[in-house]
Amino acid sequence: MSPTEAIPLLIVVLLMISIGGGDVGEMSVSFQGDNTVDSLADVHVVAGGTTTVPDNVTVDGDIYVIGGTAVVDGTIDGGVTVLSGNLSVRDDATVTGTLQTYSGSTAVSSDASVGRMSQFEAPTPSSSPAQRVGAFLLQFLVLGAFGWWLVERHPILIENVGAAITDHTLISGVVGSLGATTLLVLFVYMAFTLILLPVAIIGLFAEFLVILYGQVVFGYLIGTYLPVERDGIATVAGIATFLLVLELLGVVPYLGGIVQLTVAVVGFGAVLNTYFGLQRFEPITIPGGK
């Protein structure tokens, strides 16, 4: 598993550490190869390869398995959490804390000693039409209210972002893809220090809000083509149409996902290019260029 592929589960690990409230000062991650450890950071994440705690070795710290394989032959003075990948606790091995399994494969020898074992049972997802409609309506109400407020109170903001989407789609897409990826990686690696974990969580939440901002602007643009006179109502109707199209695209394998991702990065880039709508975006002109 590459660092980029591991990012979603690393974010989950960071959130679990934050919620747990433990006194954690250092975290390490292994992505590949065979690793034999005789000491650990406060938290060690197995994201790929094989990490082994050898026989007759005691390590202090907690281990999170999100990919690859963790093998315990010795003693872990702490807990082990399996989010994905594989864990093997062999004969005469010891885990003094809690062994929690959310997903992946966990094999514990009957001769091993484990403080406590916990198996997460995921709730069976419901695909009832009522729940899907409810989720759609909730998303529509949030984005629709935000869109209405922007158009009625600060129309220049939404107009500037909309112009960046329609007039400079390619530039917005490039900036959006680079910006979103770079910020995501930056916030995750900031969180590795754990001291900056609160800042990283706020940054990830802000990045999500920027994506929603872009979706509102797409709804506004669709609303300008609807036969509705009032801008606020047209924007709300456009947002409803936009969200419905996204839902329909979601049932189309591969192509639907690509279109959804493209829309997200173009909107993200347009918001960044206009400084959140505060400034009209105009590409830089090279002197002497034609």
How many angstroms separate the CA atoms of 12 and 1, rounded? 16
pTM comes to: 0.64
pLDDT score, position 263: 94
Q: Are residues 138 and 35 in the same domain?
A: no
Q: Would you give the DSSP letter of residue 55?
A: T
Q: Are residues 134 and 265 in the same domain?
A: yes
Is residue 98 domain-resident?
Answer: yes
pLDDT score, position 204: 83
Q: Are residues 109 and 183 in the same domain?
A: no
Note down the domain range covering 262: 129-273
Number of domains in the chain: 2
pLDDT score, position 126: 55
Q: Would you give the DSSP letter of residue 18?
A: H
How many angstroms separate the CA atoms of 107 and 109, rounded? 7
pLDDT tens digit at each of 290 positions of the chain: 665 567 677 777 877 877 766 666 677 888 888 999 888 878 889 988 999 999 999 999 899 999 889 999 999 999 999 998 999 999 999 999 999 999 889 999 999 999 999 887 655 555 578 888 888 899 999 999 999 999 999 999 999 999 999 999 999 999 999 998 888 778 777 766 667 778 888 888 899 999 999 999 999 999 999 999 899 999 999 999 999 999 898 888 888 888 888 999 999 999 999 999 999 998 876 665 55
Nearest C-alpha neighbor of 269 from the set 189, 167, 161, 186: 161
The 10 Å Cβ neighbour count of residue 153 is 9
Please give the structure tokens belonging to residue 239.
């947002």
The 10 Å Cβ neighbour count of residue 275 is 13
pLDDT score, position 123: 58
Q: Are residues 39 and 11 in the same domain?
A: yes
Q: Are residues 194 and 96 in the same domain?
A: no
Please give the structure tokens belonging to residue 240.
């409803």
**Cα–chain center distance at 10:** 9
Q: Could you tell me if 145 and 126 are in contact, meaning their C-beta atoms sit under 8 angstroms apart?
A: no
Q: Could you tell me if 15 and 102 are in contact, meaning their C-beta atoms sit under 8 angstroms apart?
A: no
